[in-house]
A and B are shown apart, each in its own frame.
Chain A
């Protein structure tokens, strides 16, 4: 397993985009935070948790989790999947390594993003800094779960663009449509994994978090089965 992770680390760290996209996500988050702080009415204080909830959105997660899509998408696109699986016949190890390395990158990016937002928050009226550790944990977990789903979609479609944009489209279009069309049935909202995930990341409520976790586990498992049983 250590060698598979080492292989994946070198694979990921020797292409610039592994760092460029997460840093773009960080910059996007900071820019929004700065805009909100500088344009906030005098005396208004939404607290650090509120600010992070507003600025670290799924759009930030989209950028930060691009390395998850690249981990599988580049290998399929360039044919290097044959080199990878030729060296590591144990596909479970490869699948895990391809989730662990981007997860480390994503968590680092989230930490930088959220700490940066905390610093930016000090420029305006701010409070709630005691929530910082919990925010770091929640946003990191949210991003990793998002990334696992991105990876799974990439495996299923063998398409990096589909992996990167699939979840965002699902969240922005499908879940919003379902939510509005079936607004008379509030229980439906409990079944929408990304809306619940965003709610959990912002509020810390446990049940919505579990719904996103369930969706992550199911999609991740489907991706795993496909990855381990498909011709390279």
Chain B
């Protein structure tokens, strides 16, 4: 388990990370979400002691600096291009294995596991982003650490590799390890993470299970009937206490089950052209919670 308490960091007058405290439990994959510039990478660097700031991070109750072997406790992968361009992939891993005195056999095992065998003796300067990600991941898991900290590990991976990564990380966590993964791929995170830490503008917005987080966003039902019955049906639904919002020739209903809506339409003789239950999604919940909290805004659509 990782416990972060009071993490903070300023760059000049900009508060990049502001008094964040959260816990990363064992046995599950924890997703780390936030808009661009929200402080995710800075937080990870603070957790690893790479940047100086405020707060403490405890790995199973101990600070990183107090550990006998850091790489047996924490494996981190922060950037897909962190390697010397002419040092072979195998030598890169041999170097990273020195802290935990990892054997050459283990290096070869990880090379095989990450599908790097054909390029193990090649200089990684010409590696694609995906191959760089694999090499970074290989370095992170080399000493079989109790905790994995991964910053955008799925960037540049092909669909098969993403599928493999998802299975691998879930299995890794299921063995009782902590896995902390940041990603912008919300659909992927929805499949991968069980727990979420969500930040925006350097502040903690949520530290809860995926189910709890998604439940913050409403589930509603999209109802479409013929124009003559639109006002009749929506008025009847409001009488039942439902919240009804007009939406592009139809209306979105919340607070009433889809089956009840169907029955009411039947009773009123209103033909139903569409009745769609719209489940709350991670994306919807994330967009709602981070609305107006982006560090960098994109231009509005016309």
- A contacts, CB < 8 Å to B: 3-4, 6-7, 10-11, 14-16, 74, 78-80, 82-83, 85-90, 229-232
Residue of A14, A16, A86 touching B76 (CB-CB under 8 A): A86
Residue of A10, A74, A78, A90 touching B98 (CB-CB under 8 A): A10
Residue of A3, A16, A86, A90 touching B101 (CB-CB under 8 A): A3
Contacts of B176 in A (CB 8 A): none
The smallest beta-carbon distance between B169 and chain A, in angstroms, is: 19
The smallest beta-carbon distance between B101 and chain A, in angstroms, is: 7
Residue B78 lies at the interface, judged by CB distance under 8 Å to chain A: yes
The smallest beta-carbon distance between A127 and chain B, in angstroms, is: 45
CA distance in complex: A166, B78 (Å): 32
Residue B175 lies at the interface, judged by CB distance under 8 Å to chain A: no
Describe A's contact surface by its main secondary structure: helix
Contacts of B81 in A (CB 8 A): 78-79
Determine the residue in chain B with the shortest Cβ distance to A80.
B82
Contacts of B139 in A (CB 8 A): 83
**For window 82-134 of chain B, which residues contact chain A by CB distance below 8 Å?**
82-88, 91-92, 94-96, 98-99, 101
**Contact at A6–B76, with CB atoms within 8 Å?**
no
Residue of A6, A15, A79, A231 touching B52 (CB-CB under 8 A): A231
Which bracket fits the contact residues of B? 20 to 34
The smallest beta-carbon distance between B131 and chain A, in angstroms, is: 16
**Contact at B65–A89, with CB atoms within 8 Å?**
yes
Residue B50 lies at the interface, judged by CB distance under 8 Å to chain A: yes
CA distance in complex: A42, B65 (Å): 65
**Contact at B99–A14, with CB atoms within 8 Å?**
no
Contacts of B101 in A (CB 8 A): 3
**Contact at B98–A6, with CB atoms within 8 Å?**
yes
**Contact at A82–B82, with CB atoms within 8 Å?**
yes
Residue of A3, A89, A232 touching B51 (CB-CB under 8 A): A232
**Contact at A87–B52, with CB atoms within 8 Å?**
no
Given contacts A89-B64, A229-B52, A231-B45, contact A14 B98 (CB under 8 A): no
**Contact at B45–A88, with CB atoms within 8 Å?**
no
**Contact at A89–B70, with CB atoms within 8 Å?**
yes
**Contact at A3–B84, with CB atoms within 8 Å?**
no
**Contact at A89–B49, with CB atoms within 8 Å?**
yes
Contacts of B87 in A (CB 8 A): 11, 14-15
Contacts of A83 in B (CB 8 A): 82, 96, 139
